[in-house]
Structure 1
């Protein structure tokens, strides 16, 4: 589409303020220039008829490992590009590629691959920066993370990693580990989001961590402590701490498997849409048929089996990441958790944008922001995905209409 203006019309527009029953979104040079009710005349514009479907802000996935048969830990440019393309088919317009615990050299290869891919990614979801998940975790909360690489924070190590790449925007760790508070302060001083993850912390430890930069709880309920007993006394764990701390954001793997409906409803009731980010936590099997797969890199990843809509360790002792896509998250929250569609969309667009510090340009259909747009039907089936004004996925197969300018 090489015309100066693009008009998406005849759709139900999800704005931050209301749901327009019939509205238009006008785009110029990759930015939104107008959102209004009705069919706005724009002479010479490329026109896209939403045919009564929803016109929504693009979905932002701030915790994703892979998809389409690839994992970011493969450490290749191809993996980054293919994963971005795969998730774009399901409405993701921006993502934060996520690592696993691994050898340092494998991590550096992945960071290199990100740098190479970011400049060539014109056909998939935009890459916002890297999320390092681990290796600073509590061993007994590791889940599917490889125990060979789990260790406490080492200043010499993490300072070297951060100096190596300017693309790290988030790092998840267990804040109760020795040195983790200093680590959180160091991340904050470099503008990197610190998140609580795979942790056995109690409330007092989480509170101290929150005060020192750990403002997000990674995949709430998964890989973290709940109420625990120590010498007959009960202590609030990470889950309860995330509820108590009103300003702490939380992630939710809303695939309908990791968390049942009552827990999804509880999280929403306590935190609200403005503090919840829906994430896929997807591994390479997302968008692929069930069966055997690998969590992590092809070279030394962990074998898993995909069944019942989720990835599991072979002995079925633990989940090993989800195979969700962003459309499934919205579908789960509206159908299983009984959340209104505008708020479900908020949790996968506006709130993630706020968490990652990109809400000035992404996360809502507002004048001046990037034209990241998704068109989906009543079943949350994606018809079209647009990133910065470029249509990168079109399920309809219809060619947009090009009106002739007046005169």
Structure 2
């Protein structure tokens, strides 16, 4: 039984607190009514308040995963409330305090059903990472860049279809599409009108098409380097692809699967060097096998999804010709950026919390340890192994003593 679940005021003491600009050693933090109330540069004890001793470990803002498909044996495409809740709990054990549940390419009816399930799960989710709205990944993609997305459902944006879905725009946080597809620029403008983040994904666009996408509302490159064009030749002339365009254009934020497999160290270092921590969001892109042992698994719906193989800490197509999703957790992303990409812990945390919060327009309440914001807090040791996770003042992972 978690002794802290009903407490209104909690003081975390003796921790190295990670703020937006520094790490304050042996400091304390007060949580009141689910919000961060104060941060002190010492361990002053407040009378009548429950105390958590961080034991000189790091006290960090919660990790925000803006692109995740599943975990713990569940996939959001299963369309089950229980699955949503179990995925949220599993990733919370690894430090995720907020997430954007992500779909796969499918028929309109399945997306509409998914929205209904999400709305129910949203109301019931009290024991795991908070939900920030759905991410619809597809179905408006380039066939050549589909990756593990089901080719049966790939198509051009159709206003008769997406207008029905956008009737539920209050449940949709972002939508990813290939901007070169017919009707995709108009689609981007409609997303902006509905305050849905428009993202570029699974695309064969060249620089001029990416510029047009930015001019029509697209502001994020989905899993940079994965499912997108690089430099190409046409009639002997070189053309920049989406990879180069995303690195070049300041108007585009990028998200990065920092599992250490999709992108080895040189790529992580390059992206960080060019874009910087304020333009990069770390994502898991995790599928149902995250948090589980290797072997066979399924990407997408458990009854008719794509069979995949979990091997080398990544999901692969059975013929091993392509990756089919990640099995990473957010703590692993932070470790990799620090140990593989030589990024400071302060900047790695920024890419896992502050920057994703800004991209998803929740920076006013999440993403940093600042008084007045939600008490989304992670305590982890020197090896970035998560010991405790708190979501809006509720401890959802970790057993600790209360003094």
TM-score range, shorter chain: over 0.9
Counterpart for residue 48 of structure 1: 52
Is 1:200 matched up with 2:192? no
Q: After the TM superposition, which residues 343-354 of structure 1 pair with which residues of structure 2 at under 5 Å, given as runs?
A: 343-354=347-358
The residue aligned with 2:386 is 382
CA offsets per residue over residues 180-216 of structure 1, 9 Å max, x none?
0000000000000000000000000001101111100
The residue that corresponds to 2:223 in the other structure is 219
Verify the 8 A CA contact 1:247 1:275 in the aligned structure 2. Answer: no
3-state SS in 2 of match to 1:379:
coil
Q: TM-score with structure 1 length normalisation?
A: 0.97
Secondary structure of the corresponding residue to residue 252 of structure 1: strand
Distance 2:187 2:400 in 1: 51
Which of the residues 360, 370, 374 maps onto 2:374? 370
- Between Structure 1 and Structure 2, how many residues are aligned? 399
* 2:124 match: secondary structure: coil
Distance in structure 2 (CA, Å) of the matches to 1:300 and 1:110: 15
**Contact conserved, 2:103 with 2:137, CA < 8 A, in 1?**
yes
Written as runs of structure 1 = structure 2, the 5 A alignment for 1:2-401 is 2-164=6-168, 166-394=170-398, 397-401=399-403
Shift of 1:148: 0.3
Question: Could you list the runs of 4 or more consecutive aligned residues of structure 1 that deviate by over 4 angstroms after TM superposition?
Answer: none
Do 2:63 and 2:96's aligned partners in 1 also have CA atoms closer than 8 Å? yes
Tell me the secondary structure at the aligned position of residue 347 of structure 1: helix
Secondary structure, aligned partner of 1:322:
coil
Structure 2 stretches lacking a partner, 5+ long: none
Pairwise CA distance, 1:103: 2.0
Q: CA deviation at 1:41?
A: 2.2
Deviation per CA, 1:197-250: give whole Å up to 9, x if none.
000000000011011111000000000000011111110000110111112100
Distance in 2 (CA, whole Å) between partners of 1:19 and 1:358 is 23
Contact 1:376-1:383 at 8 Å conserved across structures: yes
- Compute the TM-score of the two structures, normalised by the length of structure 2: 0.98
Q: Distance in 2 between matches of 1:85 and 1:155?
A: 36
Structure 1 residue runs without a partner (length 5+): 402-407
- Please give the secondary structure, in 1, of the residue aligned with 2:291: coil
Q: Higher mean Cα deviation, 321-330 or 240-249? A: 240-249
Distance 2:265 2:251 in 1: 24
- Measure the CA separation in 1 of the matches of 2:316 and 2:200: 23
1:165 Cα deviation after fit: 5.0
Correspondence for 1:404? none
Tell me the SS of whatever aligns to 1:262: helix
RMSD (Å), alpha carbons: 0.8
Contact 1:31–1:367, Cα closer than 8 Å, also in 2: yes
Instruction: Give CA deviations for 1:252-280 in whole Å, capped at 9, x if unaligned.
Output: 00000000100100000000000000000
Q: State the distance in 2 between where 1:129 and 1:151 align.
A: 24
CA distance in 2, matches of 1:120, 1:306: 31
Structure 2 Cα separation of the partners of residues 165 and 208 of structure 1: 24
* Alpha-carbon distance in 1 for matches of 2:386, 2:58: 10
Q: 1:77 to 1:3 in 2, by over 3 A?
A: closer
| C-alpha distance in 2 between matches for 1:282 and 1:40 | 41
Q: What SS is found at the alignment partner of 2:355?
A: helix
Deviations 1:51-87 (A, max 9, x none): 0100000000000000000000000101100000000
